[in-house]
């Protein structure tokens, strides 16, 4: 890493104009155990250098898998040619967004920013990791005769990055992100049901298993699959819902976070023009951070973004008022604010895009039990499946478990529930926020043309939303 940083620094010193050079080496290991068999044990190595040139109002990007001075300088030439081709057409944009001709100076990172956990995960043998995955899979199948099959996936990604720009960034870091997923499938009288649990972290196994040990996750997945076998369906319609931290995480990431990414804002998302406006109840404070707030290990942690900007904490909504968007250097220049460290690239051959990191709702002051006791009629929702959100702020999340609440008491479990609504309307309806806090989407990947490791979470909240169910 130090050698790569030095090589990039030497090359950058020879360049004219703005050039950004990023070395990125990634080693990923993946193990898959399914129905008693190790079906997948693989290692993936990918390394190279991506370079961006900004000239004449146009961006050029080129990448090379060869990490040597000649190849990198050749990539810079290709990027210069590409920037020229881009600048020739950048006037094809709308008059509303005239081309930017240079990037303003900003705070840029300089130094080495290694994250914890690297040595610990590297030191654990492949045999130990295979044994863990095999045991957890067997544990689920042994939980009940109704468990028809089970699977366990363990992944780890080691990253090694160095970023140098001609205007002053010189940063490097290494980190590791382990992930574990378990799934149990139960069957009775021809009806199938599934239970899923997943955790992901930036750091060692102490971070990965911060909220629950592997065995506890396996037991929970097996229990959920069994419990859902006999569960009925929810009644569709608008309802009071208490969202667990996992669902809150999905809500703040999918339904709010994407609408405040400055590129979406410029295109006309629902958050456009809303800075300083009330968009949520005053119980809502929402942030996105490159650090892991509240406790260590959040899965989207980065010390520095892929433009060399420190990835500090950004408050998006404060006490219900929208106060900031998420920015790259370019979008920050267009909005006349400082960049927020949200420009991220998945691999060396990807260009940086505005992405979230760890997105969360700040905890409040109430007990979950107290919130449930004060709910006459509604549902408690936990276990996110997939989620999507729209430019309109309309979102849709699949929910694994939904418990009926009647007269302040948790009742039966129902299945096949979808949560939907208009994001800012749902946040306006938040009337209770618990004091708990949990990162709960660390095993997740966000997609926006390229993947990104992110995390999200928060406390339990109560609000109103639309439940998809049966009519």
**Residue 272 phi/psi, 5° resolution?**
-60, 130
**194 belongs to the binding site for other proteins (CB under 8 A):** yes
> Which of 73/293 has CB closer to other proteins?
73
The minimum distance between CB 411 and other proteins, in angstroms, equals 20
User: In the set 7, 24, 115, 151, which binds other proteins (CB under 8 A)?
Assistant: 151
69: contact with other proteins by CB under 8 A: no
- Which residues, 6+ apart, have CB-to-CB distance to 51 below 8 Å? 19, 20, 21, 22, 61, 62, 63, 72, 75, 76, 79
- Any contact of residue 267 with other proteins (CB under 8 A)? yes
Q: Which is nearer to other proteins, 44 or 435 (CB)?
A: 44
Binding status of residue 126 toward other proteins by CB under 8 A: yes
User: What are the start-end ranges of the E strands in 218-305?
Assistant: 232-233, 237-243, 286-289
Q: Binding to other proteins by residue 232, rule CB under 8 A?
A: no
145: helix, coil or strand?
A: coil
Q: Give the span between the Cα atoms of 443 and 178, in whole angstroms.
A: 8
Q: Does 82 bind other proteins (CB under 8 A)?
A: yes
Quick one: CA dihedral 99, 101, 104, 108, positive or negative?
positive
Establish if 301 lies at the interface with other proteins (CB under 8 A): no
| Contact set for other proteins, span 406-465 (CB under 8 A) | 415-418, 420-422, 449
Q: Which of 185, 279, 326, 361 binds other proteins (CB under 8 A)?
A: 185
**DSSP line for 60-78:** EEEEES--SHHHHHHHHHH
Q: Is 246 helix (H, G, I), strand (E, B) or coil?
A: helix
* 303 binds other proteins per the rule CB under 8 A: no
* 277 belongs to the binding site for other proteins (CB under 8 A): no
Closest CB to other proteins among 184 and 296?
184
Cα separation, 167 vs 153, whole angstroms: 43
State the minimum distance, in angstroms, from the CB of residue 89 to other proteins.
Answer: 4
Specify which residues 344 forms β-bridges with: 353
Check binding of 148 to other proteins (CB under 8 A).
Answer: yes
Contact segment (CB under 8 A) with other proteins among 144-152, 205-213, 301-309, 403-411 equals 144-152
Q: How far is the CB of 390 from other proteins (least distance, A)?
A: 5
Q: How many angstroms separate the CA atoms of 20 and 43, rounded? A: 29
Based on CB atoms, which residue is closest to other proteins, 66 or 374?
Answer: 66
- Residue (131 or 213) nearer to other proteins, CB: 131
Look at residue 37 and give its three-state secondary structure. strand
| Binding segment (CB under 8 A) for other proteins, from list 41-49, 204-212, 335-343, 358-366 | 41-49
User: How far apart, in whole angstroms, are the C-alpha atoms of residue 63 and residue 204?
Assistant: 31
Instruction: Candidates 146-154, 282-290, 357-365, 455-463: pick the segment binding other proteins (CB under 8 A).
Output: 146-154
Per rule CB under 8 A, is residue 164 in the interface with other proteins?
Answer: no
Nearer to other proteins, 397 or 403 (CB): 397
Q: Which residues contact 195 (CB under 8 A, 6 or more apart)?
A: 183, 184, 186, 220, 221, 222, 223, 224, 225, 226, 227, 228, 400
CA distances from 199 to 153, 297, 370, 438 (A): 11, 11, 28, 11
Regarding 238 and contact with other proteins (CB under 8 A), the answer is yes
The secondary structure of residue 189, as a DSSP letter, is T
Distance of alpha carbon 69 from alpha carbon 273, whole angstroms = 45
Q: Which of residues 315-344 bind other proteins (CB under 8 A)?
A: none
Stretch in the footprint of other proteins (CB under 8 A) among 10-18, 96-104, 319-327, 452-460: 96-104
Residues 382-401 that bind other proteins (CB under 8 A): 385-386, 388, 390-394, 396-398
Which of 8, 11, 58, 317: binder of other proteins (CB under 8 A)?
58
């Amino acid at each position: 890493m130090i050698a790569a940083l030095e090589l990039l620094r030497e090359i950058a010193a020879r360049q004219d104009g703005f050039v950004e050079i990023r070395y990125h080496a990634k080693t990923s290991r993946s193990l898959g155990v399914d129905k008693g068999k190790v079906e997948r044990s693989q290692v993936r190595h990918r390394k190279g250098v991506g370079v961006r040139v900004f000239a004449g109002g146009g961006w050029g990007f080129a990448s090379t898998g060869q990490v040597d001075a000649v190849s990198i300088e050749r990539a810079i030439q290709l990027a210069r040619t590409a920037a020229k081709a881009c600048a020739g057409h950048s006037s094809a944009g709308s008059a509303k967004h005239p081309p930017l001709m240079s990037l303003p100076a900003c705070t840029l990172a300089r130094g080495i920013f290694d994250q914890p956990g690297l040595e610990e995960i590297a030191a654990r043998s492949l045999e130990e990791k295979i044994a863990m995955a095999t045991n957890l899979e067997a544990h689920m199948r042994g939980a009940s005769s109704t468990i028809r099959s089970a699977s366990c996936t363990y992944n780890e990604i080691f990253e090694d990055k160095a970023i140098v720009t001609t205007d002053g960034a010189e940063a490097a870091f290494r980190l590791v992100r382990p992930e574990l997923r378990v799934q149990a499938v139960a069957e009775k009288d021809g009806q199938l049901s599934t239970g899923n649990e997943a955790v992901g972290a930036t750091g060692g196994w102490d971070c990965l298993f911060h909220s629950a040990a592997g065995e506890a996750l396996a037991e929970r997945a097996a229990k959920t699959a069994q419990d859902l076998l006999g569960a009925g369906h929810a009644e569709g319609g608008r309802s009071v819902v208490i969202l667990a931290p996992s669902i809150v995480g999905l809500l703040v990431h999918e339904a709010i976070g994407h609408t405040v990414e400055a590129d979406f804002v410029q295109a006309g998302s629902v958050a456009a023009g809303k800075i300083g406006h009330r968009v949520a109840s005053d119980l809502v404070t929402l942030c996105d951070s490159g650090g892991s707030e509240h406790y260590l290990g959040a899965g989207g942690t980065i010390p520095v973004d892929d433009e060399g900007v420190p990835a500090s904490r950004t408050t998006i909504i404060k006490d219900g008022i929208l106060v900031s968007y998420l920015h790259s250097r370019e979008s920050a220049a267009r909005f006349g604010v400082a960049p927020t460290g949200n420009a991220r690239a998945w691999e060396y051959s990807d260009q940086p895009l505005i992405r979230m990191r760890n997105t969360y709702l700040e905890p409040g002051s109430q007990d979950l039990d107290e919130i449930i006791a004060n709910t006459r009629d509604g549902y408690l929702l936990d276990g996110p499946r997939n989620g999507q959100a729209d430019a309109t702020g309309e979102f849709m999340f699949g929910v694994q478990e939904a418990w009926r609440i009647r007269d302040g008491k948790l009742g039966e479990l129902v299945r096949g529930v979808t949560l939907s609504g208009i994001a800012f309307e749902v946040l306006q309806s938040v009337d209770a926020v618990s004091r708990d806090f949990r990162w709960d989407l660390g095993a997740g990947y966000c997609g926006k043309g390229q993947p990104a490791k992110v995390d999200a979470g928060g406390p339990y909240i109560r609000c109103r939303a639309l439940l998809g169910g049966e009519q």
